[in-house]
Amino acid sequence: MISPVGAPSPVFPPQLAAHVVKVACERPDDRGRSLSQWDCAELGRQMVRDGIVDTVSSSTIGRILKHHKLKPWRKHYWLTRKKPRDEAFRRAVEEIIDLYVRPLRPDEIVLSLDEKTSLQPRPRATATKAALPGGKPNLVEHEYRRDGALNLFAAFDTRTGEVHGQCYERKRQKEFIQFLKHLDAQIPAAIHTIHIVCDNVSSHHGKEVRKWLKTHCRFRFHFTPVHCSWMNQVEQWFSILQRKRFRIVDFASKAELNAKILQFIDEWNEIAHPFNWSTKSVAKVMGDVKGQAA
């Protein structure tokens, strides 16, 4: 076992340490245990079950894991590739990055667009009470009633940070076209090219949408590759909306929910700012893409 210079080497029974590491790197189900992940106490019990020791403390298991930089209770989501990370994938990523970082002409803008779905008002039996001095938190009534849901269609201007948004009862091609009409009316006629960055769901490129776009030529669509929602900048803005407006969900009705969302957008636009896609971040993205495509 190697320890930092000047630090004493931890002393563990070699057989115990080796077995702890081995078991910690296995799924509990593979050991016949009905656990979602290991913790120090359960690993200690497993050592006894396996006859390695008669007894061992959780703190000893913890020191062994720390020495080997193992944290079997942590998890990260990942996704099995369904589409190849090939040359076409690289070109699609490069196209969107170019839209985000290149200087734009005076007659074009880039909007990152998506929907935040199933936003429920959740009216409470009793109104939420504000925090009070003395460390008393906001009090949120546990019980609420279901009162339908709204879908927020939002477009984030990648150069100014300004957001355009509208709420609809449903999320179909019909509502998407209505939102495009809203953008068409809001964006000055001097802007001849409106680049739309969005994902490739059917409601964004269906027959009705394609028909509408034939008569509205200033819209140009750029679809993110499959499972690349992180490239859609509006997702970053949605996370801000979630933290600042939906941390506590307590609206009297869908009408109030709609009004509060639009108010939040207006207040955001007063202080709007873009997200910084620097040369360094772009180089990192492209480095990852090239590595995956290799």
What pLDDT digit, counting tens, does each position of 137-186 carry?
999 999 999 999 999 999 999 999 999 999 999 999 999 999 999 999 99
What local confidence, expressed as pLDDT, does residue 288 receive? Answer: 62
Report the C-alpha gap between 65 and 130 in whole angstroms.
43
Domain ranges of the chain: 14-67, 87-293
SS3 content of the chain, % helix, strand, coil (to 5): 40, 15, 45
Q: Alpha helices of the chain — where are they, by DSSP H?
A: 14-24, 40-49, 58-67, 87-101, 173-186, 207-213, 234-245, 254-270, 279-293
* Range 87-293 classified under CATH 3.30.420.10: yes
Distance between CA atoms of residues 43 and 48, nearest Å = 9
Question: pTM for the complete prediction?
Answer: 0.78
Residues of the chain with pLDDT under 70: 1-11, 79-86, 278-294
Please tell me the predicted confidence (pLDDT) of residue 290.
59
Nearest residue to 126 via CA among 117, 111, 138:
138
